[in-house]
Structure 1
């Protein structure tokens, strides 16, 4: 494993991965930032993969409240940051005492397979994961699968409980509903439920 930044975050008291689709709804974007802020203020480090969409919201939410965040990259740490839209975000992460992690040595360029492999590490580096929005075929399912195998608690936003259930029909919520219906994830829809999920992280931290 290769690291750049504040390696003390690897031993932080609590850490949670916040994950989701690259193409969230407007609600999903707002919820991603809100959940990240809430947990960062409660002394959780926020882990994500620097991808567009929910990953970006997760990192930004932590930074907005001077929290700590870890970005897992899918290429060598000396290579241009992918996606290029988040190169300034990486600078903010490092300047705020955050951390970049990669399992690839300097000089290793990104290839598509590395993006999927990265998802396992986001779960491994965390005490649990929270999924904001995911479709049935979304890449976030890879992270969820690893979390379940690793016995990490999985929390997921329950769109049925929000805005009179109207949000349950959007395609970005169909994966959420699937995992909740299969009892594979804790449904989250209030600040209280998120705090209760955070207590489950304490149990295994």
Structure 2
């Protein structure tokens, strides 16, 4: 089902910081109840996913699904695709947040996945049909993805990865941000240290079960991060 919704209608009450950073309208296709029911966690990472990164994305996604948490990502190549695909294959629910209008898959090879998510899950975009493709669309998409989620988990990323935009938006909006230990300790990356200074947390394998159990305690509509 396609719909054009005011963001307040789609998400419910928003705090002042959220209102300032939210798009006016969301274009949706699918089950919009996924925006208000349950907990949502974004899984994001490199478009050029490594074999180890793929395994980590699969493991984290499975853990989220087992807790009934909705998996959110951006339909991009690499980690995003793995997150959506694994959530579906494990019997979970997923939301794709696009940097394009609803009718366009980016990359094009994800067209079938896009249609599957529209049919059985939810796709959202802040860009109307015919909106031109611009590089700035994707950081704006990341802001919206952070907005609709209770937390973001970064699986792997490069120094110039667009994933870092998602991290900063999560911090800006008061959402919890988790960097997998391999990201946080990578000597070739400068931005993880900066994000940690602003409140990002290092996610170690042994911490994951406790963190996932705490995610449903997040209070929607505010800027308070859930407490561990």
The residue that corresponds to 1:187 in the other structure is: 202
Q: CA deviation at 1:187?
A: 1.9
1:131-185: per-residue Cα shift (whole Å, max 9, x none)?
Answer: 1012232111111001001111111110289xxxxx946x5xx368535764732
The residue that corresponds to 1:88 in the other structure is: 112
Contact 1:133-1:175 within 8 A present in 2 as well:
no
The residue that corresponds to 1:2 in the other structure is: 27
Contact 1:157-1:189 within 8 A present in 2 as well:
yes
What 5-or-longer segments of structure 1 have no aligned partner? Answer: 162-166
- Residues 1:81 and 1:20: Cα distance change in structure 2 (over 3 Å): same
Find the aligned partners of 2:30 and 2:166 in 1 and give their Cα distance: 24
SS at 1:119's partner residue? Answer: helix
Higher helix share: 1
Please state if 1:135 is matched with 2:135: no
SS at 2:81's partner residue? Answer: helix
Find the aligned partners of 1:76 and 1:183 in 2 and give their Cα distance: 32
Q: CA deviation at 1:111?
A: 2.0
Please state if 1:20 is matched with 2:45: yes
Instruction: Return structure 1 stretches of 4+ with deviation > 6 angstroms.
Output: none
Find the aligned partners of 1:183 and 1:193 in 2 and give their Cα distance: 20
Contact 1:158-1:177 within 8 A present in 2 as well:
no
TM-score (norm: length of structure 1): 0.85
Contact 2:62-2:87 within 8 A present in 1 as well:
yes
SS at 1:66's partner residue? Answer: coil
The residue that corresponds to 1:164 in the other structure is: none
1:94-143: per-residue Cα shift (whole Å, max 9, x none)?
Answer: 34x21000001223242222112101011001001101012232111111
- Residues 1:198 and 1:11: Cα distance change in structure 2 (over 3 Å): same
Across the aligned residues of Structure 1 and Structure 2, the Cα RMSD in angstroms comes to: 2.2
- Residues 1:176 and 1:196: Cα distance change in structure 2 (over 3 Å): farther
TM-score (norm: length of structure 2): 0.77
- Residues 1:134 and 1:160: Cα distance change in structure 2 (over 3 Å): closer
The residue that corresponds to 2:102 in the other structure is: 77
The residue that corresponds to 2:17 in the other structure is: none
Find the aligned partners of 1:175 and 1:196 in 2 and give their Cα distance: 28
